[in-house]
Structure 1
């Protein structure tokens, strides 16, 4: 098989340039995907800048991948040549630890990320263990589905794991790449949904996505008036907030869940947690079975990411638009 052609960062913060690599022999449990679409996730930007100190250069970013299988390993039984599939943040796990055997492969301490210390989806092809490659339901469009494979599961998994249902009152902080999906999934689960944003101009969009209420977080009084209102608040923002106000907005047994990463440590008083048995938690991506479930839910309920498409060769232009928060709400590269 010929070399894989992609667009790689050769140093921290550098623009992406054409890069070829030899993937070597296909593993018995692997498939090779001919990529049609790949979303741009904020995690890619962190990896390009080496903000987390785990990037090895040169490397090809990208982990919200949709395409068709063109090579199948000798031990792969449930995927076929030409099948349309998706691949997200995780591309392998040990398969043997406590977490893998419980179906929580996303918590495996030996998990492999699709574009950490290996090459990802800003390319013509990519490889992964077949267990982490998901068939895409026919009803879903590839462009709108690619961001679900990381951004979508990042918000779907905590909503599902915390039992969000028609009796739930849910708040979603931030109406961006993650938040616009969180609002949609919370609505699908039947919850009453409140969107929180610093931008009053996003109210109409938030309501169109399914929010029943909108709160401008620049209005401190509006936040304080929501004391003891929510069962679950999902924070999707990478910005510091007055988290104590959100803790007070929780009902007894309520949960504040982080999927965005604020720059400063999260600081709250212990008393609201003690008096109301309120919880602070976080959530990563979900395991393969939960991603398959999410895709099925999206297909049956017509849920999709709002996207802007860029040709793969325009990747640097697309990255700059994402950095400046000019994309509503997810950028997707196409071959």
Structure 2
């Protein structure tokens, strides 16, 4: 077994604290990664506190992982020792079903997607996976990503969740020049949606109820700002958008935003509230509008996203922290007091 150090929660009420544990041995198709940086995602907090149910304790969170490869299995030929590499939300799947073969491993039809943490590894030893708040990780090489050397490695990690979550639907719907995209909510997902949509050539409007976010939206590249608390502005933007990327994860009025779409416009949810959506059918029927949602992307699409970000010099706005600050960082995420993602310097675990 491979010895590891990380930060874990022992139960739903406890803080994250230092823990030593073991990872499975390197298999023929695996790589061992020395983790340099790990991003904090809001879903880490949900799972640490068992807010979605099904959390296995102890839990080592983290599915935004960047590091260097320190060992490769005997059958691995796409990576070598010393390569910069990334691991996102999943580390294995069956590889044989229709979805896995079409780069949709996150929807494995055999229900064998192995998530990077808090997941039973049915493809290997049936242990529960531990994530990136740690000094190393073992992963199937087919689920490991090449990190372009041109990107600032200190900032890359959030691309592996926030980046792909927003890139995937924009790419799937062929967003580009001539489209007007509204981005609802300026946070970890929203700020990436602005940057990526602008790079794709779209006209982008940040949609927010907080006028104080207008300056940040402009700095991120948004062309316009819609204050939803201003009735006149709402009227002005009726039937304006080809697409709305909805990053809000608390209950909100979908019918209001559907009214801002053009005929055949598309409202794409990437932030999903826990409460059921309340939709008036006429909000969709009037104009043949589409209400849809999107999860993360497959492995090849995630690699495409990293290459796209390297080509357009797109990186998230981040705050770098030591691992012993992680519990304070969690509270600041809950307080919306970060612009816009935390990244943990995993070298700090040696302190």
TM-score (norm 2): 0.92
* Structure 2 match to 1:107: 107
1:116 to 115, 118, 125: 118
Q: Which runs of 5+ in 1 are unaligned?
A: none
Out of 312, 320, 324, the residue aligned to residue 301 of structure 1 is 312
**In structure 1, the residue corresponding to 2:188 is in which secondary structure?**
coil
Contact 2:2 2:24 in 1 (8 A): no
Moved more, 77-86 or 258-267: 258-267
Task: Give the Å deviation of 1:100.
Answer: 0.7
| Whole-angstrom CA distance in 2 between matches of 1:142 and 1:321 | 23
Q: Which residue of 2 aligns with 1:83?
A: 83
The answer to whether structure 1 residue 196 and structure 2 residue 187 are counterparts is: no
Tell me, what secondary structure is at the counterpart of 2:32?
strand
Look up the match of 1:324: 335
Deviation at 1:2, TM superposition (A): 4.5
| Counterpart check, 1:160 vs 2:162 | no
User: Which residue does 2:239 correspond to in 1?
Assistant: 228
Q: In structure 1, how many angstroms separate the alpha carbons of the residues matched to 2:305 and 2:2? A: 34
Q: Which residue of 2 aligns with 1:172?
A: 183
User: Is the Cα contact below 8 Å between 1:224 and 1:245 reproduced in 2?
Assistant: no
CA RMSD of aligned residues (A): 1.3
Q: For 1:133 and 1:173, how far apart are their aligned partners in 2? A: 31
Where do 5+ consecutive residues of structure 2 fail to align? 120-128
- Which stretches of structure 1, 4 residues or more, deviate above 6 A after TM superposition? none
Within-5 A mapping of 1:255-274 = 255-274=266-285
Separation in 1, partners of 2:33, 2:228: 43
1:136 to 147, 161, 166: 147
- Find the aligned partners of 1:14 and 1:218 in 2 and give their Cα distance: 39
Q: Quote the residue 2:50 is aligned against.
A: 50
Q: TM-score, normalised by structure 1?
A: 0.97
